[in-house]
Structure 1
Amino acid sequence: MRKKTWIWLLLTAVTVVLVVGVTGFVQFKGRAVTEQAELFVGSHATYEEVVDSLMPRMRHRAAFHRYARRIDLPETFKAGHYVLKPGMSVIEVARMLKLGLQTPVRVTINNVRTPAQLAEKLARQLDADSAALLRVVTSDRVARELGFDSVTLFSMFIPDTYELWWTTTPEELVRRMKQEYDRFWTPVRDAKRKRSGLSRLEVMTLASIVYEETRKTDEMPRIAGVYINRLRRGIPLQADPTVKYAMQDFTLRRILHRHLKTQSPYNTYIHRGLPPSPICMPGKNAIDAVLDFEQHDYIFFCARPTFDGYHNFARTLREHNANARAYAAELNRRKIR
């Protein structure tokens, strides 16, 4: 009887050990994540904040806390953007946070007119505040290191979607954009640029004007050709978008004579040639339109009164004035002030 009791106790103990072992194995190495989810850990986040964001997305939470303490995760977790994938275990999640095994984020840069707008747009996509970003994108020191100045550094940003670490610092970002800028200026593009007689900065500046004049890609080379003709003949560009930029009022729908008197180096009604720097971040289509500008003898253009986004082009001031009157009449009819 005693022997049977002893055997029963032994079997019970072995069973308990096996159950505990299997349970522990499942909890530590089993499926802790059931659905894919993103986790953003900011550079100023506390461990408690990380856990609060993480726990609703996980099973085996007690096991996670035990393993986290074992590897000193509360003191060593890394900021970053993490993707929790179905099937990940407690151990995999904890080690991912400890080692900083981030997943890149896709950062889109486009449709901005000023460095301040650029900083704000980037701050919404990276773990950096807009003030820190603005300081770097307007920094004399950083600009000089990259071959620009604080005014022209903005021309270095090529609109696109880039894969970056969410924790990329402002200076790391600007240096990455310099690499993308150098990659964009291929030997083919540089050869086309020389045909226009413009520098890279001048191409970007003219492209920004073209981009603000029209979003019609098929018309961009013709508009670029008008401005090239004016530059070559020494005629003021008289580009309305530069007046809006000079006034920093991008809501204007109609440029009036009083607006043309705005004192600014960006006002091409007052100053001949191109402005000191781009008036927006032009799309690649506008940049390539300047490089592939259409050769013609037009020196004027005016928006069509049909408001279809296209323009009427003219070789003489007489033709242009007729086009301008037709457009102004339509503005009046629509009561656009």
Structure 2
Amino acid sequence: MSEQHPSPSTSLWGRVGRGLLLVFLLAGSVAFYLAWQALWKPNVAASPFGPAYLYIRSGSSFQAVLDSLRQHELLRDPETFEQVARWREYPAHVRPGRYLLTPNLSNSELVAKLSRGQQDTVAFTLDAFKYKPQLVRQVARQLEADSGQLRRLLNDNGLLLRRYHLDTTTILTLFLPGPYRFEWNTSATQFLDSAAAMHQRFWTPRRRQQADSLRLTPTQVHVLASIVQRETSEPTDKPIIAGVYLNRLRTGMRLQADPTLLWAIGNFGVKRVLNKDKLVDSPYNTYKHKGLPPGPITSANRQSLNAVLRPAAHQYFFFCARPDHSGFSDFAESYADHKRNARKYQHTLDSLKILR
């Protein structure tokens, strides 16, 4: 029986088929490799200036996200990110926030992070402030919260009374200076609500009992603490000064607190209070008006608040800054002793030629 050999045409088609299969396999491998690279190859560009953040404002479109990524050169290859984002339907799930972009993130990981809204919170310290615009500026520098809306809320008496039981003057007692942590896209209302929650946590039942024993409301404690805070930064002097003012309140004596006078004239840089300053027509002029002023003259910190809640027990009614400018005060029970202390301080100002 003779052997049958494939015809030349059959052999040719076999070789063509194997070649095409090889081409398809090679093309598939290349496509798979390119797809893998688009999905999983690190694509976030390293920054020489430290951590890089992507800020997505509320209501932003996918195109706005792409524009921000390109403008700030946060990606090595924006085109592959756009491809992966569209594959994963991210354009329909854009979430606002502040997102940390680490150099090892792939397109797939970045899209997943953005789609889930896995933003990184903003930690900042709220510094003590005297006026509402100073608060607004601090918040606007750190959060997306609209500064105009925050200003309007702080001056909406009806809303403040309903929501926080404070008015446009006492609302500043709501804020405790110190560390805060927020999502970047926190709104103005959310910021106020968070400050109110922190305020409520500070006012424990024990602290409320301490305020009651002094015959003060929490708001009045904040107002008095703001005066103490402006008088001194020395922790050991704060409870003593708080005791002085409480002694004056109990006996019906005017507070005669220089910091409230400086708030009234709008100048905290004054070193020497003059008699003409004491004539200013303001409810914050505690040389004219008895009792506490209508609101705080700065945002009181926890140390100042605790100094008022736990004042030193003594018979002092007067105090004056020491002439050595140490930050401490000399205390006196009688006005005659106080005058002697005050003359020493004034002589120091004279020697330094400080007239104001």
Q: 2:252 aligns with which of 234, 242, 259?
A: 234
Find the counterpart in structure 1 of residue 122 from structure 2.
Answer: 105
Q: Secondary structure at the match of 2:160?
A: helix
TM-score (norm 2): 0.89
Cα deviation for residue 6 of structure 1 reads 3.1
> Which moves more between the two structures, 152-161 or 66-75?
66-75
Cα deviation for residue 213 of structure 1 reads 0.4
Is 1:37 the counterpart of 2:48? The answer is no
**Aligned partner of 2:25: which letter?**
V
Partner Cα distance (2:28, 2:87) in 1:
22
Is 1:13 the counterpart of 2:24? The answer is yes
Does the 8 Å contact 1:109/1:121 carry over to 2?
yes
Q: How does 1:188-203 map to 2 (within 5 A)?
A: 188-203=206-221
Does the 8 Å contact 2:147/2:188 carry over to 1?
no
Partner Cα distance (2:158, 2:99) in 1:
33
Does the 8 Å contact 1:304/1:327 carry over to 2?
yes
Cα deviation for residue 187 of structure 1 reads 1.7
Find the counterpart in structure 1 of residue 166 from structure 2.
Answer: 148
Find the counterpart in structure 1 of residue 265 from structure 2.
Answer: 247
Does the 8 Å contact 2:60/2:94 carry over to 1?
no
CA offset digits 1:78-131 (Å, max 9, x no partner): 321111134322123234334433221113222100122111111111112332
Partner Cα distance (1:325, 1:131) in 2:
48
Find the counterpart in structure 2 of residue 50 from structure 1.
Answer: 65
Does the 8 Å contact 1:242/1:268 carry over to 2?
yes
Q: 2:317 aligns with which of 299, 302, 306?
A: 299
Paired residues, what number? 337
Q: How does 1:1-337 map to 2 (within 5 A)?
A: 2=12, 3-33=14-44, 35=46, 36-43=51-58, 47-55=62-70, 56-71=73-88, 73-74=90-91, 76-145=93-162, 146-337=164-355
Structure 2: gaps (5+ residues):
1-10
Cα deviation for residue 168 of structure 1 reads 1.1
**Aligned partner of 1:136: which letter?**
L
> Which moves more between the two structures, 33-42 or 133-142?
33-42
Does the 8 Å contact 2:66/2:78 carry over to 1?
no
Distance change (3 Å), C-alpha of 1:201 and 1:64: same
> Which moves more between the two structures, 31-40 or 255-264?
31-40
Identical-pair percentage: 35
> Which moves more between the two structures, 141-150 or 112-121?
141-150
CA offset digits 1:239-264 (Å, max 9, x no partner): 00000111122222221111011110
Does the 8 Å contact 2:146/2:187 carry over to 1?
no
CA offset digits 1:232-284 (Å, max 9, x no partner): 11111100000011112222222111101111001100101100111110111
Does the 8 Å contact 1:138/1:153 carry over to 2?
no
Does the 8 Å contact 1:204/1:282 carry over to 2?
yes
Cα deviation for residue 34 of structure 1 reads 5.4
Partner Cα distance (1:336, 1:11) in 2:
93
Cα deviation for residue 46 of structure 1 reads 5.9
Cα deviation for residue 142 of structure 1 reads 2.4
Q: Secondary structure at the match of 1:128?
A: coil
Cα deviation for residue 157 of structure 1 reads 1.1
TM-score (norm 1): 0.94
Greater Rg over alpha carbons, structure? 2
Cα deviation for residue 310 of structure 1 reads 0.7
RMSD over aligned CA atoms reads: 1.9
Partner Cα distance (2:87, 2:99) in 1:
21
Partner Cα distance (1:48, 1:259) in 2:
58
Does the 8 Å contact 2:317/2:334 carry over to 1?
yes
Does the 8 Å contact 1:214/1:309 carry over to 2?
yes
CA offset digits 1:278-334 (Å, max 9, x no partner): 111011100001011000011100001100111111111111101111111111111
Q: Secondary structure at the match of 1:106?
A: strand
Find the counterpart in structure 1 of residue 3 from structure 2.
Answer: none
Partner Cα distance (1:87, 1:300) in 2:
63
Does the 8 Å contact 1:28/1:60 carry over to 2?
no
